[in-house]
Amino acid sequence: MGNYFHSVELNADKCCGCTNCLKRCPTEAIRVHGGKARILPERCIDCGECIRICPHHAKSAYSTKIEEIGNFKYTVAIPAPALFGQFNGLDNIDFVLTGLKKIGFDHVFEVSRAAELVSEATRRLIKEDKLKKPIISSACPSVVKLIKIRFPELCDNVLNLLAPIEVAAKIARREAMEETGLPTEDIGIFFITPCPAKVTEIHSPNYAEKSEVDGAIAISKIFPELAHAMDHLEEVEPIAQSGLLGIGWATSGGEAAAMLGDKYLAADGIENVIRVLEELEDEHIRDVDFIELNACSGGCVGGVLTVENPYVAQARIHNLRKYLPVSLNHIDEGKSLDDMMWTEELTFDADIFRLDEDIIRAMEMMSQMEEIHKGLPGLDCGSCGAPTCRAMAEDIVRGKAKETDCIHKLKAKIQSVYDQLKNTI
Amino acid sequence: MSNAIHLHYEVSGEDFTRAGEASGLVKKTLKKLGYNSDAIRRVAIAMYEAEINMVIHAEGGYCDVDIYPDRVEILLADKGPGIPDVEKAMQEGYSTAPDNVRTLGFGAGMGLPNIKKYTDDMRIETTLGVGTNVYLTVIVNS
């Protein structure tokens, strides 16, 4: 199994070995062993649900420290549109963009601008009939990873256009190099991120060998300093160049609406996303051309690294979009879309969930699993460290757990030993 | 028979919203076993359609699924009214589904034709007033 980078981290000191994250993880990627939660790296999709649920705050997400911008001669912040939903009473995003410059960035380029380009490119590809329908958005990295490990039949439906963050980074870098004459390595592009999945994605992208983004700073990390800077601005620079379509990407349904068609569907929240993918795979969902899926409830404003309630942020985004032009960023007619396309193919990772490469061996293991499962109490209590009795049976067959890890089994065993001893006395 | 995994599901005819559960579980099992994805998709769709049929027309029944390394065999058995004219039922667009089911998007008359399309073998045994057995086979090309 390859090396997996993950931004979701465990602080072992704070972890008390409870079952909250274990039960919540949508890909059953957590086990509790020796009283501490462990993430199975090959199964984790970085959705951040475990961070959200942990009552002890033992789970956190790695993200870039603000000081790291000092490592570059010229830096550009590329904020996710979700950032604009974090501030009370904001009616002009230039306050946020100028604030970012005040805390140390040389330049700012809104990811929502690139979102408008991605939407336009998608519409063009649909018009030219170059995409397999229904097209599944590739903007949420958790969803892409989920498809990669669980939905082999849907890999070809994933939109092979770069996500707005990557397009924004490319343009920002090119403009910065032209502006300053500096070589590429002196220019630092920093994404202001609402979620850990984006942090992971820029470290090990699916779509290219290397990301154009140098770091991802959590919204929650930058928020206090940024809010303070925004309160003390002498003047507000006119930087913003996003229309309402781009800003709309911050919330669920925004990307789909930017398709300007009516045969689309948008689902948010990881459980809903999984349900939609299952139904898509079984061809129960028909007559839909475009499918937007967001792992977080409410869309990117629901990211685990944001500070504001997602629905409050959603309402603010809605207000911010009022009176904005539809779209301010366009692709020149006739211009090739090549530099916006994925350079790697999305291939299914068959090894993650299957029991064995050899089907005969897998069937034997499945039969053993069924036998073991019958003997387990079926409470799905999680006390053994696996999320369900079925997952436990699978872990036993894979050699990663033993039956007496089940406290109910262990209790019965102790009882029988006790009974035997009692009879011999 | 060795090397077979046998699964059995009761399909309730009382709760329409639970139709499709058995085919979902079979799909999950096949994925764990590492079957090729095209075969899994065909099994899932064919079995789903047959399961829905059983709920709409026959108030439920049971499914027996036998998984072999090279094929999946499914029996869907019900004690419903039986199919009066199988040939007609196999025609695309022919349906006897009631209106309340049609409002949910079912009853387009594509059930049996779809099952035939996605399976490598399909056999129907039906007796009026007694019930229907549908036998399906999907061959797995590894």
| The pLDDT of residue B109 | 72
pLDDT bracket for residue B112 (50, 70, 90): confident
Domain count, chain A: 3
Tell whether A360 is covered by a domain: yes
Which residue among B38, B40, B69 sits closest to A363, beta carbon to beta carbon?
Answer: B69
Tell whether A346 is covered by a domain: no
Least CA distance to B31: which residue of chain A?
Answer: A354
Q: Residue B142 pLDDT > 70, yes or no?
A: no
Least CA distance to A281: which residue of chain B?
Answer: B41
A13 and A96 share one domain:
no
Q: Residue A300 pLDDT > 60, yes or no?
A: yes
Residue B33 sits at the chain A interface (C-beta within 8 Å): yes
Local structure of A290: helix, strand or coil: strand
Q: What is the ipTM of this complex?
A: 0.80
pLDDT bracket for residue B1 (50, 70, 90): very low
Torsion region of A307: left, alpha or beta (phi above 0 gives left; psi -120 to 50 gives alpha):
alpha
Substitution target in A149, A352, A363, A390 with the highest count of B β-carbons within 10 Å is A363
Give the closest residue to B74 by CA, choosing from B14, B110, B118.
B118
Tell whether A266 is covered by a domain: yes
Tell whether A349 is covered by a domain: no
Q: Which of A20, A39, A62 is the last residue of a domain?
A: A62
Where do the domains of chain B lie? 5-139
Residue B32 sits at the chain A interface (C-beta within 8 Å): yes
% of chain A with per-residue pLDDT over 70 = 99
| The pLDDT of residue B2 | 57
Interface A-B: count of C-beta contacts within 8 A: 56
pLDDT in tens, B48-90: 999 988 988 888 899 999 999 999 999 999 999 999 888 888 8
Interface of B with A in 47-66 (CB under 8 A): 48
Local structure of B50: helix, strand or coil: helix
Do A354 and B34 make contact, defined as CB atoms within 8 angstroms?
yes
Q: Residue A425 pLDDT > 80, yes or no?
A: no
Paired with B75 in beta bridges are B64, B135
Do A282 and B34 make contact, defined as CB atoms within 8 angstroms?
no
A137 and A38 share one domain:
no
pTM over 0.95, yes/no: no
A405 and A292 share one domain:
no
Tokens representing B58 are 């026959």
Q: Residue A181 pLDDT > 70, yes or no?
A: yes
Give the closest residue to A254 by CA, choosing from A217, A289, A290.
A290
Residues A114 and A159: their CA atoms lie apart, in Å, by 16
A326 and A379 share one domain:
no
pLDDT bracket for residue B102 (50, 70, 90): confident
Tell whether A386 is covered by a domain: yes
pLDDT bracket for residue B94 (50, 70, 90): confident
Chain B residues in contact with A355 (beta carbon < 8 A) = 32-34
CA distances for B58 relative to A297, A320, A417, B23, angstroms? 39, 54, 51, 17
B97 vs A421, more confident: A421
How close is the nearest chain B Cα to the Cα of A80, in Å? 36
Local structure of B133: helix, strand or coil: strand
A94 and A17 share one domain:
no
A308 and A330 share one domain:
yes
A36 and A122 share one domain:
no
Q: Residue A2 pLDDT > 80, yes or no?
A: no
A171 and A308 share one domain:
yes
Paired with A267 in beta bridges are A293
Residues A2 and A46: their CA atoms lie apart, in Å, by 17
A262 and A402 share one domain:
no
Give the CATH fold of the B5-139 domain: Heat Shock Protein 90 (3.30.565)
Tell whether A345 is covered by a domain: no
pLDDT in tens, A123-145: 999 999 999 999 999 999 999 99
A36 and A106 share one domain:
no
Q: Residue A186 pLDDT > 60, yes or no?
A: yes
B109 vs A47, more confident: A47
The chain-wide mean pLDDT, for chain A, equals 94
The CATH number that applies at residue A54 is 3.30.70.20
Tokens representing A422 are 């009692």
pLDDT in tens, A335-372: 999 999 999 999 999 889 999 999 999 999 999 999 99
**Residues spanned by the domain of A57:** 1-62
Which residue among A278, A281, A355 sits closest to B33, beta carbon to beta carbon?
Answer: A355
A32 and A79 share one domain:
no
Sheet containing strand A74-79, edge to edge, reads A107-108, A74-79, A187-193, A215-218
| For residue A152, cis peptide bond before it (omega within 30 degrees of 0) | no
Q: Which helix (H) or strand (E) holds A39?
A: strand A36-39
A332 and A360 share one domain:
no
Q: Which of A340, A367, A390 is the last residue of a domain?
A: A340
